[in-house]
Amino acid sequence: MSTPILCGIDLGTTNTLAAHFVITSGGGEVHLIESAEGDLLMPSVVHFYPGSKEYCVGRSALGFALNHPDRTFRWVKRYIGKNITWAVEIDGNELLEVNARTISARILKEALKNARREMRLPELPTEAVISVPAYFSEQERVGTKEAAEVAGLQRCRLIEEPTAAIFEFIYELKRLGQLTTRFPSGRGHVLVFDLGGGTFDVSVARLDLTNPGEPRVQIVANNGIRDLGGYNFDMELLKYGLKLASKSSPNLPILGELLVAAEELDIDGKISDREHASLISNALISAEACKQRLSSVPRREITQQFTLYLGGAAQQYVDISRGEFEDLLAPYLARIKGVLQETLAILQDNTNGEISRWEQLDEVILVGGSTRIPAIRDLIQEVIGFAPSEDVRKDLVVAKGAAIQAAIDAGLPVLQVARCTSYDYGIVDPNGTTKVVIPRGSQYPSQHKAKYKVPFSLTTRLPITIVENAGHTGDQAHAKVIKEVSYFHPLLLTGDELEVTCSIDESGLMKVFVEDPRSGEAVESSIKDISMTDDEKAQARQDVEEGISPHDAWNRYEPDRDEADGAL
């Protein structure tokens, strides 16, 4: 029997990392995969070379963000559930249309090429587990799956980032034989606080370690904010610097223009004016580095500096103290605090009151680069009442956990897992009110059935709508239509009852079927808004293939030759 390829990919807003699970006599261990440029954390950046579809991914692509931001794509994960497209000039008037999914496909392809090289495989892996934020919506999950398909994966399952992190945390303790010292009662609850470059997730896992060979991890609550992360903090720094500079230099119109350009970037993911895009891109890189340095300064009054580029040789320096930066963070900290407080309520709900106070948690683990910010750690300690654990490798755990999920999927006795939904889902009644079919916190994979009464109507076509975040409190303000079934029947009668089945698969994705109980006929839903057609996917796949540079590391790697050289 051939050895399974057990590959996991953390497709992050800022960085991407792949890992693979290696089966050993002692069970298995997870190895991280370097990029062709020697990085563990490969920047999630794609640059298209001028005049062609050819592209590069990673550190070199990030380098091009400075001078060629119009051909360089960063932070696309923020847009993966949206219908925003960007055009890249490839040859004269010819334009290549890309979107967050097809850009992500290029990042994934690069991660697969890295995996192939490091794992010495004859072909690219065709299966992988890809992590997504726990608070990702249905559309964002579908977008990620489509990116995987375009990258050439035949099978891809999604895993929530905090779930992956907790897998790695538990698996590592198991490997080191430290589970019982850490959780002497054999049970426990762990909160994962995950704040990365673009998203914020909180999950709570219930652990049952009474079978030490195969610990059980049950996710009992998820919460978060889909568009909050380090990117927002960089942007705040940049805008703050521009406003300060405008005050001291009111005669420089470029400062106001750059402020407008920064807003544009925030909304559309791109800036239309190339010169402005380049200046903003440079300043953001400088602001991000300044933000990271501020995390290491011990006191509020100590400053760090970043640069605003104003065109040509003109530039201004902005000095900002850790205290000023924390003041800029205040609105985000308040939102994070709100999410934490709400999480406790969700936890209480989902555990039928078993967990109702933070003291009942055993551990808090921090994941994601932005948890290095001291104000974030202080906030967690203030709300939860105890200090987070320090022995988690916050940048690496998610990719490793995804590889562990690949091992579980291959049937290896690694861990047992149960997950729960982050949202509730409902069906919109003919009179416009929503009935919750799947309450938030429901375990999945699962199937839920509901009845739908045909309203008084002369039509034979019936639109049935499924919404996400239906809100069991009755608040439908944030409900989002995710599925629509256009049900057709020549003999639809008022009062007929149709059976609607909503099933959630292992990746947290929903399928909806409407069935007529008389005929047994079923119609499947289609997804609203995004979703690529098969033709679009085929075209995108071809574009991705055509753009692979003939000089890149994947093409240079020939396993047969390396083996002959004794490299294995």
Binding region for ligand AMP (CB under 6 A): 12-15, 196-197, 230-231, 288, 291-292, 295, 368-370, 372-373, 395
What minimum distance in Å lies between the beta carbon of 343 and ligand AMP? Answer: 20
Distances (CA, A) of 84 to 80, 81, 273, 417: 9, 9, 18, 35
Q: Kindly tell me which of 107 and 414 has the beta carbon lying closer to ligand AMP.
A: 107
SS3 (DSSP) at 362:
coil
Report, in Å, the least distance between residue 194 CB and ligand AMP: 8
Q: Burial-class residue 30 by CB neighbours within 10 Å (0-12, 13-18, 19+).
A: buried
CB of 311 to ligand AMP, least distance (A): 26
33: which 2 tokens? 């995969």
Taking the least distance from each CB to ligand AMP, the nearer of 88 and 237 is 237
Q: How far is the CB of 115 from ligand AMP (least distance, A)?
A: 19
C-alpha 558/C-alpha 568 separation (Å) is 12
The Cα–Cα gap between 456 and 282 comes to: 60
CB of 110 to ligand AMP, least distance (A): 16
Min. distance of Cβ 234 from ligand AMP in angstroms? 6
Q: Which is nearer to ligand AMP, 134 or 373 (CB)?
A: 373
The least distance separating ligand AMP from the CB of residue 394, rounded to whole angstroms, comes to: 7
Residues 18 and 292: their CA atoms lie apart, in Å, by 24
Residue 7, SS3 per DSSP: strand
Nearest approach, Cβ of residue 12 and ligand AMP (Å): 4
Q: Which residue has the tokens 């932070």?
A: 75
Other Cβ atoms closer than 10 A to 39: 15
Q: Which is nearer to ligand AMP, 379 or 544 (CB)?
A: 379
Q: How far is the CB of 288 from ligand AMP (least distance, A)?
A: 5
Q: What is the amino acid identity at position 361?
A: L
- 94: number of Cβ within 10 Å: 11
Closest distance between ligand AMP and the C-beta of residue 295, in Å? 3
- Residue nearer to ligand AMP on the CB measure, 58 or 197: 197
Instruction: Tell me the chain's radius of gyration from C-alpha atoms.
Output: 25
- DSSP per-residue string spanning 112-170: HHHHHHHHT-SS--SEEEEEE-TT--HHHHHHHHHHHHHTT-SEEEEEEHHHHHHHHHH
CB of 84 to ligand AMP, least distance (A): 21
- In whole angstroms, what is the distance from residue 122 CA to residue 183 CA? 43
To which H or E segment does residue 195 belong? strand 187-195
Q: Check: CB of residue 305 under 8 Å from CB of residue 321.
A: no
- Closest contact distance (angstroms) between CB of 283 and ligand AMP is 14
Residue 303 in contact with residue 321, Cβ under 8 Å?
yes
Torsion of CA 500, 134, 19, 66, to 10 degrees: 120
Q: What is the DSSP string of 97-125?
A: EEEHHHHHHHHHHHHHHHHHHHHT-SS--
Query: Of the two residues 336 and 544, which places its CB atom closer to ligand AMP in the complex?
Result: 336
Q: Residue written as tokens 């967050």?
A: 100
Tell me the three-class secondary structure of 47-68, residue by residue: EECCCCCCEEECHHHHHHHHHC
Round to whole Å and give the CA distance between 543 and 541.
5
Closest residue to ligand AMP, judged by C-beta, is 230
**Total number of residues shown for the chain:** 568
SS3 380: helix
User: Which CB, 63 or 152, lies closer to ligand AMP?
Assistant: 63
Residue number with CB closer to ligand AMP (15 or 102): 15
CB-CB contact of 111 with 140 (8 Å): no
